[in-house]
Structure 1
């Protein structure tokens, strides 16, 4: 629907919404007042252009301006133009992306005509001003039926949605290990072990691990279960919110040709979540049963199989 001139399709009802032929300018009547800036102009006919006072949004300072734009021979008359100017001076290479919304007050209906430009505008050192050059035809603005100009007084407004791309967090995911070699940990004299035992360091593709065994169980299951965890030793590599997804199997081998006791784990490791596993991995009653085959000659065999490691990292961070 073409919307160069509004006399026939101005959305005078709040429920009606219109876009331009490209779907980039959206016009709708709303009772909602502008959230960031309101500019009231008395004796409008005396001015060709009016600048409002400064207002702040998103850590930046802005100014709303309204001006009269003369039409050329190909256009049908003059227009009101509205702009928002960035007051702050940006350094070369810096920018601010925004979405702009402009308003004009309808005194007759006690509502605002809202004009939203859905296209993002980029402010930078060479471009500090954006707006809608053909906000309203002057002929429409001055018509008494619309209520925009009453007793030579009018009200404009603006909202600025700051979308600063310089603050966008960009992350990547990459596989850093697949089907790593199985690590087997053989522990003798199991029944005489103390409360905790850690395996030697295990290295896979630059990541260091240890198995953390609690032979008598973690405090909450002490005396009932064996607890088993996988601990990431070099978690200091996971700074700035980086995380490591690990798919792995923890296994207590059956030494009599029976079925192993094992658990498949999918977990994210991070600087604050360095260990994952099970407080109740296998019951001590089952483990100590000589017919089950898990504890033979007071020896237990634990196995770790890391099947996949995926690193989630910030583009700007440095994880080797």
Structure 2
């Protein structure tokens, strides 16, 4: 397949033309605005009688800004939309505050009533709206004949549904920087579970402490004997929890690559969970691990003797650690 050229550089993948809308289908409803019309033919007749070529919907809010959808049933002929349905977005003036300029990306929607899905008509470019910008949209959103053909499902028994999504893209981005923690301790941490207490969820281990980049972090393991998340009722689940998550406040995060292995007292070796976990820890997420650590029943099996004298021993190995913070 031939590639694409952009700004003098050649690529072996295709770059979509940002001057043309992209058409796709999806089942999820539009996030910001849905407008149902139960008598499209009467709406067209009313526009004709009033010598108008465009209909404006009630206002809706997106990104803290008020908008309205404009529908040209027979096309915005001034913009080359003849024989098409034209869809436009207009920003409404704030009667109290002077609107500042905003840059947005826009998606228009038309529901296929036969499948329940939505035709998504997406503009690949970004558009700026200020107090002077009346509207922006797609003159050739869909051919009028294609829209009105009942077998296509867009206009059925005079009913149709339009929608819109508007995402604000202007504003200052948040920058984050990630760096690897050097000289990760090669120590393997042996952590013990006391399985004497009555069966309860979850069961917590003793704590242990690591030191990364001059900072101490305290952890413990959490065992769900009846499983958790996708391991519920089918597996024993094992996780590692960070106790002092307050050290990861202010936009700080930690990406941890680790292994958890349990001692098989028959083999005298640690096993299960051999695939390493790579997951984030932050102020809002303090736990990561293995929801399907081992199949249900294995933990107390006499064949493997993972539990001996009501204790189970787990090895914790840190392979690599990355720290991220907002700039």
TM-score with structure 1 length normalisation? Answer: 0.43
Larger radius of gyration: 1
